[in-house]
Amino acid sequence: MGTVAVLAAAVSLLGGALRGSHARSALAAPPPSSAPALAREFATGDTAAVVAGLQQRLRQNPRDAAGWALLGFAYQQRARETGDPSYYPRSEGTLRRSLRLSPDNAVALGGLGSLALSRHRFREALVLGRRALRLQPSARSYGVVGDALLELGRYDRAFAAFDTMAQLKPNVSSYARISYARELLGRPQAAIAAMRLALDAAADQPEATAWTHVQLGKLYWSVGNVRAAGAQYARALAAFPGYPYAYDGLALVQASRGHLRAAIALETRAVDAIPLPQFVGQLGDLYRARGQVAPARRQYALIGAIQRLLVANGVRTDLETALFQVDHGIRLGQALTLARRARAARPSIDGDDVLAWALARNGRCDVALGYSRRALRLGTLDALKLFHRGMIERCLGRTASGDAVLRRALALNPHFSLLWAPVARQALR
């Protein structure tokens, strides 16, 4: 069976797993399914208190393997909530201690797999997830395996893992993965339908509800529905006041309407809450769009410091660093080296796309075209990937075909990039 046929078969299974199922028990990043008590504590949104309680429990019983595993998951949640990567080594230490106390501990192995995903160590995550599955099949471990396979470009197997996950535990996590699979295959309305099931599953869990509204907002944004995207981001804030991912989304909505000052204020709130590289980079781009060069440069310089901190805590950032440098014209030769290395470790459509763009920006459009074709091989409706393809075609002197692809990108999402949507419009004049 050819690749496209295999992918189609996998997604037909994903669709079947969704019908008639409306679970309400999981978080967007849930603790292990074997620990319902911790799941309830996470649902309160006070993960710091969960960490403190587990630390006290372990001081009283340092040979509690299950407690060490749960603390490892709690540290990962803290990293997600705060953007502080120093929680990753702490998580690894507690999970490995759990394994020393209980070598056949599937929960700890799955936790190490989740940690490897967070650090962008996808081959390691795949090995750990499969080891956990051999010990104890669980929805969480199928999610780890599927996520790793996805980033390694093995889409048919990844979608099959997500289908099994959804059948075992139809919850926020599994619905979100199904939604992403459908988005990758160019089915945005089906992706929205799956994410709405995730929203139903997140009922009575404020942070999970906010996260799911943000994902819905991103889906609407990706197809140019700015109004619907903004409504979802506003609902995220209503569910979980101060949610930084919602501020980040609303900043783009305001920018699309020409309200750059309001966009900067919103993005600043996101950065102040969690200084994630994508928030900081977007704040820099907003300053740049407003003609404020010095503040933009300060944000771009901060990106480098954040990336060094991530690397120091075991996170691989080659792909993200390469894309940032290529987009902003920084050390393009070095960026191409990083993109090649990233694509070797992460041979996904994103790895293909970043390498294609890095090659194009270094004047290697002939080689770039092949990688750009691979980046679009699933039929993904991604305006930025289409923009890259259009510019590569134009670089090769194929102006008519390049312009046709640029029109597709702008028709799909006229505001797909603060940096590049204006370039696409200018190219078509």
- Average pLDDT on 230-246 reads 97
Q: Is 258 a residue whose pLDDT tops 60?
A: yes
Does the structure show a pLDDT above 90 at 23? no
Q: Mean pLDDT over residues 263-287, rounded?
A: 97
Strands (DSSP E) contained in 67-185 are none
Whole-angstrom distance, CA of residue 358 vs CA of residue 365:
9
For 208-242, the DSSP string reads HHHHHHHHHHHHHHHTT-HHHHHHHHHHHHHHSTT
What gap in Å lies between CA 119 and CA 147, rounded to an integer?
13
Half-sphere exposure for 154 (CA within 13 Å, toward CB): 15
For residues 297-321, average pLDDT:
95
Residue percentage of the chain with pLDDT more than 90: 86
Range 319-325 average pLDDT: 96
Q: What is the per-residue pLDDT for 1?
A: 36
Q: Which of 181, 148, 193 has the alpha carbon at shortest distance from 380?
A: 181
pLDDT at 82: 87
The pLDDT, as a whole number, for residue 261 is 98
Q: How confident is the model at residue 11 (pLDDT cuts 50, 70, 90)?
A: very low
Residue environment code for 337-350, b if the CB has 16+ CB neighbours within 10 A, otherwise e: ebbbbbbebbbbbb
**pTM across the whole model:** 0.89
Number of other residues whose CB lies within 10 A of the CB of residue 291: 8
**pLDDT, the chain, mean:** 90
Range in 4-13, 62-71, 202-211, 310-319 the model is least confident about: 4-13
Give the angle subtended at the CA of 85 by the CAs of 127 and 104, to the nearest 5°: 35
Number of other CB atoms surrounding residue 208 within 10 Å: 28
pLDDT at 400: 97
326 neighbors 349 (Cβ within 8 angstroms): no
The answer on pLDDT for 305 being more than 50 is yes
Residue 295 pLDDT greater than 60, yes or no: yes
- The residues spanned by each domain of the chain are 259-315, 317-427
The length of the chain is 429
Per-residue CA distances from 146 to 157, 160, 235, 401 (Å): 7, 8, 29, 35
Tell me the average pLDDT across 348-361.
98
Cβ burial, residue 298 (10 Å; 0-12/13-18/19+): middle
Query: Please, what is the Cα angle at 361 between 408 and 353, to 5 degrees?
Result: 55
- Better-predicted residue by pLDDT, 189 or 20: 189
Q: Is the pLDDT of residue 111 over 90?
A: yes
Token pair for 33: 């399914």
Per-residue confidence band for 46, with pLDDT thresholds at 50, 70 and 90: confident
**pLDDT for the residue 125:** 98
Beta carbons within 10 angstroms of residue 57's beta carbon: 16
Question: Does residue 290 register a pLDDT over 50?
Answer: yes
HSE-CB for 281 with a 13 A CA cutoff: 18
Residue 261 phi/psi, 5° resolution? -65, -45
pLDDT the model gives residue 43: 55
pLDDT tens, position by position, 164-201:
999 999 999 999 999 999 999 999 999 999 999 999 99
Which overall architecture, per CATH, does domain 317-427 show? Answer: Alpha Horseshoe (1.25)
> What is the helix (H) or strand (E) element at residue 300, kind and residue range?
helix 293-312
Q: For the chain, what is the total number of helices (H) and then of strands (E)?
A: 24, 0
| Over residues 66-94, mean pLDDT | 94
Q: What is the pLDDT of residue 42?
A: 59
pLDDT band at 231 (very low <50, low <70, confident <90, very high): very high
List, in order, residues 6 or more apart from 130 with CB less than 8 Å away. Answer: 145
Q: Give the integer Cα–Cα distance in Å for 140 and 163.
A: 12
User: Who contacts 272 (Cβ-Cβ below 8 Å, separation ≥6)?
Assistant: none
Q: Say yes or no to pLDDT of 28 above 80.
A: no
Q: What 3-state class would DSSP assign to 192?
A: helix
pLDDT average, residue stretch 148-154: 98
Which pLDDT band holds residue 80 (cuts at 50, 70, 90)? Answer: confident
pLDDT of residue 372: 98
What pLDDT does 418 receive? 96
Least confident segment among 21-35, 260-274, 295-309: 21-35
Is residue 163 within 8 A of residue 17, CB to CB? The reply is yes
CA quadruple 225, 228, 232, 233: dihedral sign? positive
